[in-house]
Chains A and B, each alone.
Chain A
Amino acid sequence: MPLESVSLLLISAAAGVILLWVFRKTSDQAAIRRTKKRLQAHLLEIRLYADDPAIIWQAQKKLLAANARYFGLMLRPAAIVTVPMVLLLVALDGYYGKRPLEPGRAAIVTAQFEAAMNGGEVFRLEAPEGIAVETPGVRLLGAHQVSWRIRAAQPAAGELRLLAGPVTVTKSVVAGNERRFVSTRRVGLHPSLLLYPGEPPLPASGVKWIEVDYPAARVQMFGFEAHWLVWFLIISMASAFLLKGKFRVTV
C-alpha cells in the first residue's frame, strides 16, 4: 500500500477515536441510550404485535418521535465537532484530494479581483522555472476574473507572480510526480481563510483570491481506488464503531 494510503488510514482511524472521545464528553449519553432503547423497543413492538395494525401504527408514530429526539440529541455534539472537523477535512483535502501538476500537464490559474475591470489594465503572470505560462490572461469581465493556462515541464516548486499594474501578488505552485501538500487557493484576510489555510493571506491589493486548478487525486487502498473522503468516512466510522464498546460510548 502506498505511503499516503497508510497515513490516511492512520489519520482516519485516529480521527474516529478522537471524535468518539469528543462525542462521549459532549453528548448526553444517558439520554441517547434511553432514546435508542425506545427506538429498538418500538421496532420489536412491530414484530411482537404483527397481527394488530393499530399497534403497528402507534409504534410507527412513536418510532418517528424517538427518531426526532435522537437527532435532537445529536445536534450538540455534532455542532461542537463541526469546526475542528471542517478544518481537518480542508487540510486533508490539500494533501489527499489534489496532486501536484505532473510534467506535461496543464492547469488553469484564475485570479479574482474585487472591483470591476475597465479592460485597459495590464496583467501578467510569471511562473518559476519548469512551469510555462502558455496563454495571455483571458478576462471574464462580468465575474471580475482573469485566467491563464500554465503547463508543467519538469518538477518544480515555487511561486507564481501576478503583476497587476503597481501590485504584485504571489501564489505557490507545485509540479512533480510525488504527492505532497498543495494549496489550491490563496485568499485574503477573509473568513474563507479558514477553508484555505495553506498560504499566508494576500495583502490588500485588490485581488480577492488566486487559484491553481490542480488535478484531483484518488487514493488507493485495499486494491480499490477512491476519493480520499470515502476512505476517511469508512475508516473513521469503522474505528469508532469498533472502539465504541471499549470507550463505553453509545452513538
Chain B
Amino acid sequence: MLKQPSVKLRKELWERVKRCAGLAGYSSPEEFVEHIIERELAKLEDAETDEQIINKLKGLGYLQ
C-alpha cells in the first residue's frame, strides 16, 4: 500500500480550517481541504467528454 501524500499547512491556517470545518458541515478538516482543492481542480481540468461515461450508466434501473 502506497503512503498517501500529505501536504503541510501553516499552523495558524490549520487552526482556522479546524475551526471552520465543523461549522461548514464537514465531518473533518481533511474533508474540508480536499473539497476545496477538488473544486478548484475541477475548474482547471478538462472535462471528460467521454461517451463511455454514458455507457457506464447502462442498467441503472431508473434510467433509460
Q: Do A and B have CB atoms closer than 8 angstroms in the complex?
A: no
**B residues in contact (CB < 8 Å) with A:** none
